[in-house]
Structure 1
Amino acid sequence: MAEETGGPASENYRTPRPFDLGQMNSARVYDYLLGGKDNQEIDRDVAGQMLFSAPEIKTVAWFCRSFALKAVEMAADAGVRQFLDLGSGIPSSPNVHEVAKKIDPSARVVYVDYDPVVHAHCDALLAKPHDVTALLGDIRRPHEILGQLKNRTLIDLNEPVVITLIGVLHYVMDDEHPADIIAAFRDQLAPGSYLAITHGSLASAPEVLQVLAGNKDTSAQVSFRSAAQTETFLAGFELLEPGVVPVQQWLRPDLPETRMVMDAAIGRKP
C-alpha cells in the first residue's frame, strides 16, 4: 500500500480549511443539493452554477441518498449490526443510524469525515443517539481511521460491518491510490461484511464532465471513472446483482436516465 501521506495536493488546495465561510465547501454544497440548511451563500452560488448547466445533479444526489439507505436496510435485514459511513457529509434525516436502528435499536454507527465543518455538525446533531459516534478522519489515511476504531472500541472488526462510501471515491485522485484505500479496510473486515459505493462515471455526458472540471484545484475536484474501473475497487468482495450500474437501476425500474451518471455497487465479503 502507498504511504499514507495524502500527497501534496491533499495537504494544500484539496483539504478544506476549518470554518472558512468564504471558501466553497463541497459538503455544504451537497447539503444544499439535498435541501439542507447547513450551507452558505458561496456554496449555493457554486451549486447554482452547476445546476444551471446540469440540473440533474440534484436528482442524482437524491438517487445516491436513496441507494445508501437501501444498502443499509438490506444489510441490517441480513443481520449486520455495525455501520461505518466514510465521507459521511453533513447529517440529514433519515440517516444511516435512523434506518439501522429502526431495524435493530442495538445497531452501532460511526460517521467519518475529514472536514472539520462536517465533524462539528455531526457532534452537535448526533450527540443523543446511543451507539452513534462521529470521527474526524481522512479516508486517504485508512490505517489512522482503523486505529481510532480499534483504540476506542467503536466497531468490533471481528464481526460483520457495513461500509458505505457514497460519492466519495471520485474525490480521491489516482495518485492517492483509491484501490489501496479500499483494500486496507477490506483486509480488516470480517466475512459477511458489506461495501456499498457510488462513483461518478465517465459515461456521463461530455457537457456534465466539463461542468465538473471547473472544480479543479478545489476540495470539490473529482476524477470520474469507468464502470470497469469502479468494479476493481470491489476486488475481494462478491459483487451483488445488478452489479456496477447507474444508481437509479438499484432503486426502481421506472426512474429516468440522467446525463450525469453515478454508478453504484454493493459487495459482500465471503
Structure 2
Amino acid sequence: MSDNGIADGPHGTSPLPDPTAPHASRTYDYHLGGSDNLGPDRALVDEVESTFMPDVKMRVRAQRLFLERAVRYLVGEAGIRQILDIGCGLPQRRMPNVHEIAHGIAPDTRIVYVDYNPVAVAHMQALHSDGILTVAFAGDVRKPELILTHPDTRAVLDLDRPVAVLMVGLLHFLLDEEDPADLVARVRRGVVPGSYLAASQISAELDSRVSLLTKAWARGATPMVERGRAELERITDGWETVDPGVVVAHRWRPRHPDRTEGNAYTLVAVKP
C-alpha cells in the first residue's frame, strides 16, 4: 500500500482505492445522493456535516450544477463536439452525466471519461460506454500525455479538432508539489486552438470553513488543497476565460436564480 492510503495495483494499471479510507470519487457520489460509496466515505461526510459545514452537500452540488451548465454552453453555444472528462468520478443516477447532457443537445458528441479510480471507470464502462461515441478508461492527470495518446482517446477523439477538457472537482485533489499549473499547461499543449477548459477549485476565500474541510480530508486517501482565485488563474494561465470569468460556482451563467451556493471558484476558458 502506498503512503497515500491507496492499494498498489498491478503493473501498468491504476491502483485500487483503499476501502478503509475516504476516497474522492466515492465521497462525491455520497454528496450527490448516490449509492456507490462505503462506510468511511459516509462517515467523513457525515462528520463534516454535523460538526462545522451542515450545507456541505449543497456546496458540492453547486460544483456539479456548474459542470452541467458548462457542458451545455460548450456543446450548445461553443459548438464543441468532443469532450475529455478527466477525473470523471462515478456515474450519477440522480443527476445527468456529461454524455447525457451533451447528447441531449448534439447526439454526435464524442466523450472520453478518464479517472484514476479503476472502480469508477468500471462502473462507467458498464453503464455508459459504447466504445464509439463514449468510452472510459483508467488514467492519471499527473501523466497527461498518456491520457492524450491513449488508444481509446485516439479512437474516439480527433485531437486535430477542438476538444473540451473538463477538470471539475479535480484541481483541489492535486498537491502543490505535483505542480497543477504544469499539468494543465501540458494538457493545453496537447490540444488545438479553439479547445476549451472547464475547471473548479475550492477556496477558503469563499468560505472560511474550507480550511477545516481540508484538515478533515487529511486522513483520506486523497488529501484536499484549497487555493485562492489568484492561484487558480495562475494554474490556468495560457487559457482565455469566457464571460463571466472566474466566479463562484453558482454564479457561472445560472439558468435561473440558484440558491445552491458554492465554495469553489469556477471557469470556462478557451485556448487562443
Per the normalisation by structure 1, the TM-score is 0.88
Which residue matches 2:88? 88
Structure-1 separation of matches of 2:6 and 2:107: 35
Deviation at 1:23, TM superposition (A): 2.9
> Identity percentage over the alignment?
34
Deviation at residue 15 of structure 1 after TM alignment: 4.0
Aligned to 2:183: 181
Q: Which residue does 1:12 correspond to in 2?
A: 3
Displacement of 1:243: 1.2
Q: 1:267 and 1:151, CA in 2 relative to 1: closer, same or farther beyond 3 A?
A: closer
Distance 1:133 1:150 in 2: 7
Q: Distance in 2 between matches of 1:15 and 1:206?
A: 29
CA RMSD of aligned residues (A): 2.2
Matches within 5 A, 1:190-209: 190-209=192-211
Q: Tell me the alpha carbon deviations over residues 16-56 of structure 1, each in whole angstroms, 9 at most, x when there is no partner.
A: 65264333222111101001111122211111011112122
Quick one: structure 1 residues 151 and 209, their matched pair in 2 at CA, closer, same or farther if it must change by over 3 Å? closer
The Cα shift of 1:174 comes to 0.9
Q: Is contact 2:214–2:226 with CA below 8 Å preserved after alignment?
A: no
Aligned to 2:36: 38
Map residues 19-168 of structure 1 onto 2, 5 A cutoff. Answer: 20-52=18-50, 53-77=52-76, 78-92=78-92, 93-128=95-130, 130-148=132-150, 152-168=154-170
Q: Structure 1 regions of 5+ residues with no counterpart?
A: 1-9
TM-score scaled by structure 2? 0.88
Number of corresponding residues: 260
In structure 2, relative to structure 1, the CA distance for the partners of 1:164 and 1:48 (3 Å cut) is: same
After TM superposition, give the deviation of residue 256 of structure 1 in Å: 4.8
> In structure 1, what residue type is equivalent to 2:86?
L
TM-superposed CA distance for 1:225, in Å, is 0.6
Secondary structure of the 1:83 match is: strand
Structure 2 unaligned spans of 5+: 8-14
Taking the aligned partners of 2:151 and 2:252, their CA distance within structure 1 comes to: 30
Q: 1:230/1:151 Cα in 2 relative to 1: closer, same or farther (>3 Å)?
A: closer
Deviates further, 216-225 or 167-176: 216-225
The corresponding residue for 1:5 is none
Q: CA deviation at 1:129?
A: 7.5
Partner amino acid, structure 1, of 2:140: D
- Aligned structure 1 segments of 4 or more residues deviating by more than 3 angstroms: 14-17, 127-130, 149-152, 204-208, 251-258
After superposition, the C-alpha distances for 1:212-249 in whole angstroms (9 at most, x for unaligned) are 21222532311111101101122121111221111111
Closer, same or farther in 2 for the Cα pair 1:51/1:100, shift >3 Å?
A: same
